[in-house]
Structure 1
Amino acid sequence: MTNDEFIRRVIGKPWANRACDFNQMDCWGLVVLYYRHVLGKELHHIPGYESDADFITCYTQQRMKWQEANSAGVGCLAVFYRGDSPSHVGVIVSPGKCLHSRGEHGFVRVDSPLALMKIYQRVEYLKYGEI
């Protein structure tokens, strides 16, 4: 599936806590689907994620699999922080555009990371494996 095909398929889909399918997804579920269907990579499974484990616990378990990126390239994970705690993730799908699924009653959308910085204090960009 191409980047654009994936975006068209998920845009507007509802956010649902710990969901990871094409009907509904949370922010991490969206990242997992993107990596699986666009990049052909299966991300490390986090035990307890589907059972409503805390996001920070899941992120901490997963973080060691990722490396800091020099820039926000296509396919990079964007991690948004509130204070010192990561609280939201998305995928960079084009220069200056982040695909993400945000919050209760939210949905999948594309926003500028700069626009998201009105809500969060900082962002870091990570790459998985050899991306």
Structure 2
Amino acid sequence: MNKNDFIRKVNRLPWADRACSFEAVDCWGLIVLYFRHVTGIEIHQTPDYEAGRDFITCYDGDRVFWVPGNRSEGCIAVFYRGEHPDHVGVVIDGNRCLHSRGRGEGVRIDPLPVLERAFTKTEFLKYGDI
């Protein structure tokens, strides 16, 4: 599936905690689907995600599989509140992010500068497949 077909399929899907399907998806589930269907990569996931652990625990367990990236298509944007990662999305071009925002909002595309203003810090990563 190419990027544009994927975006059409997931845009406006509802958010659901720990969901990773074409019916509903949370922010990390959207990353998993993007890599699976657009790049053909099955990214590593720790058991914490399926076990319903909090986002920070899941992120900390999976962070070792990602390397520093930049604001380019296919990298992920990790948004922080204070010192803690709080949300993720996939960069779909140099200035927009596809993400699943949370309860009541779901999947949408926002300009990266808008998201960066809503959070205290943004980090860009690419999958390292180690």
Under TM normalisation by the shorter chain, which class is it?
over 0.9
TM-score between the two structures when normalised by the length of structure 1: 0.95
Q: In 1, Cα distance between the equivalents of 2:42 and 2:18?
A: 17
Contact kept in structure 2, 1:73 and 1:92, CA below 8 Å:
yes
TM-score between the two structures when normalised by the length of structure 2: 0.95
Contact kept in structure 1, 2:48 and 2:57, CA below 8 Å:
no
Instruction: State the superposition RMSD in angstroms.
Output: 1.0
How many percent of aligned residue pairs carry the same amino acid? 50
Query: Which residue number in structure 1 is paired with residue 85 of structure 2?
Result: 86
Query: Which residue number in structure 2 is paired with residue 18 of structure 1?
Result: 18
Query: Which residue number in structure 1 is paired with residue 50 of structure 2?
Result: 50
Gaps of 5+ in 2: none
User: Cα distance, 1:104 vs. partner?
Assistant: 1.2
The size of the alignment, in residue pairs, is: 129
Once superposed, which parts of structure 1, at least 4 consecutive aligned residues long, lie more than 3 Å away?
Answer: none
Mapping of residues 27-38 of structure 1, within 5 Å? 27-38=27-38
User: Cα distance, 1:52 vs. partner?
Assistant: 1.6
Gaps of 5+ in 1: none
More helix by share: 2
Mapping of residues 1-131 of structure 1, within 5 Å? 1-69=1-69, 71-129=70-128
